[in-house]
């Protein structure tokens, strides 16, 4: 994991999104309903007959949202594109927790002509995607027979460089479900890898209908996002392959963002045991987090999220203590490896 080298305790002035129709926390997806493509409309992709040489690659975009509430809404979604000379195969899926119950989001798995920007998330099925000027995800709308939500990213809290050189971010955000609107924190991550293409015979024999084990020791990168009901949040990034490497944390406390390198992470003795307790301390910030993690339900295997480098995310439940004031906290843990 390649992380920028921040100064300890550096305050971050959140940058506001530059669109004129933005609300205080969000890119306004509601600026115009006409900009949302209908669900049945295919994405606009290039069908040019002339093609340049394409190296097979895999592009992943992940969003993880946790709301500021005693019973927060939590959302994790992953969008994976795998390219070859002939087509782009996409696998979209995720989980949504509302009212204390997790439910898998309807999967989307299909093949398309390879577009010029193969990393961009494209609309399709129950997923609508709004893109910013540079092609980044500026909002998501999800609608199927059982659930509906609208995710709106807002002010930037922090940025860093991910393990494949992509810029990743912590932002304020909103999720709307019907008449309910919840503010919270959003982690937006992107990655890109070249990949080897297996023969059809070996590919078919290696396909499994079960996700790889989530509780794997030696994962390259780990992110922990915790949020309490007082609008405070903590994000910690660490390299699990090198316990002596510097973990980096970002706090959002009292509407002020800070970046820290004085971070102590104490994993449980047996990380493979479900609900084992983790401890994270930021001595200079006066912040302590104690929490347990549990893998999200495995019944969203059909969501196309099978990938050995992209293990299951985890639900986090624990306590966030800031300057001696402790509050229950919920969150998400995300892991990835090369």
pLDDT at 4 over 50: no
Instruction: Say if 49 falls within a structural domain.
Output: no
User: Would you state the pLDDT for residue 318?
Assistant: 96
Q: Collect all residues with Cβ–Cβ distance below 8 Å to 314 and sequence separation of at least 6.
A: 214, 293, 294, 295, 296, 332, 333, 334, 335
- Give the pLDDT confidence of 51-76 residue by residue, as tens digits: 445 678 888 899 999 999 999 999 99
Instruction: Say if 24 falls within a structural domain.
Output: yes
Instruction: Say if 202 falls within a structural domain.
Output: yes
Let me know: does 266 contact 283? Beta carbons within 8 Å: no
What's the mean pLDDT in 23-47? 38
Instruction: Say if 5 falls within a structural domain.
Output: no
Instruction: Say if 4 falls within a structural domain.
Output: no
Tokens matching residue 2: 């390649």
Let me know: does 308 contact 212? Beta carbons within 8 Å: yes
Give the H or E element holding residue 242. none
In total, how many domains does the chain have? Answer: 1
- Which of 29-38, 134-143, 283-292, 293-302 has the least mean pLDDT? 29-38
User: Would you state the pLDDT for residue 299?
Assistant: 54
Instruction: Say if 121 falls within a structural domain.
Output: yes
Instruction: Measure the CA–CA gap between 292 and 312, rounded to whole angstroms.
Output: 15
**What confidence category does residue 115 fall into, taking pLDDT thresholds of 50, 70 and 90?**
confident
Instruction: Measure the CA–CA gap between 279 and 267, rounded to whole angstroms.
Output: 7
User: Would you state the pLDDT for residue 191?
Assistant: 85
DSSP state of 303: G
User: Would you state the pLDDT for residue 6?
Assistant: 43
User: Would you state the pLDDT for residue 76?
Assistant: 94
- Give the pLDDT confidence of 126-168 residue by residue, as tens digits: 999 988 877 788 899 999 888 899 999 999 999 988 776 778 8
Domain that holds residue 176: 10-42+54-336
């Amino acid at each position: 994991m390649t992380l920028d080298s921040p100064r300890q305790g550096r305050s971050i002035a959140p940058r506001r999104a530059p669109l004129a129709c933005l609300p205080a926390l969000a890119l306004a997806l509601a600026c115009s309903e006409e900009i949302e493509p209908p669900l049945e409309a295919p994405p606009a992709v290039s069908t040019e007959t002339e093609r340049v040489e394409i190296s097979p690659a895999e592009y992943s975009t992940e969003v993880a949202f946790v709301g500021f509430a005693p019973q927060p809404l939590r959302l994790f979604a992953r969008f994976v594109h795998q390219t070859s000379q002939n087509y782009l195969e996409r696998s979209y899926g995720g989980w949504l927790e509302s009212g204390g119950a997790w439910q898998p989001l309807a999967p989307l798995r299909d093949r398309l002509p390879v577009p010029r920007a193969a990393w961009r998330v494209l609309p399709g099925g129950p997923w609508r995607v709004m893109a910013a000027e540079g092609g980044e995800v500026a909002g998501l709308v999800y609608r199927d027979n059982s659930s509906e939500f609208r995710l709106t990213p807002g002010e930037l809290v922090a940025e860093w460089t991910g393990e494949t050189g992509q810029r990743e971010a912590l932002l304020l955000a909103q999720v709307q479900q019907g008449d309910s609107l919840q503010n919270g924190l959003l982690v937006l991550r992107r990655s890109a890898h070249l990949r080897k293409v297996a023969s059809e015979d070996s590919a078919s024999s290696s396909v499994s209908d079960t996700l790889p084990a989530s509780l794997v020791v030696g994962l390259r990168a780990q992110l922990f996002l915790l949020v309490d009901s007082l609008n405070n949040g903590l994000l910690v990034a660490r390299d699990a392959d090198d316990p002596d490497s510097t973990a980096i944390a970002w706090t959002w406390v009292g509407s002020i963002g800070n970046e820290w390198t004085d971070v102590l992470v104490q994993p449980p003795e047996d990380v493979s045991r479900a609900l084992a307790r983790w401890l994270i301390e930021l001595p200079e910030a006066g912040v302590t987090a104690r929490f347990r993690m549990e893998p999200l339900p495995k019944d969203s295997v059909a969501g196309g999220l099978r990938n050995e480098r992209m293990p299951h995310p985890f639900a986090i439940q624990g306590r966030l203590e800031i300057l001696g004031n402790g509050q229950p906290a919920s969150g998400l843990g995300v892991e990835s490896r090369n």
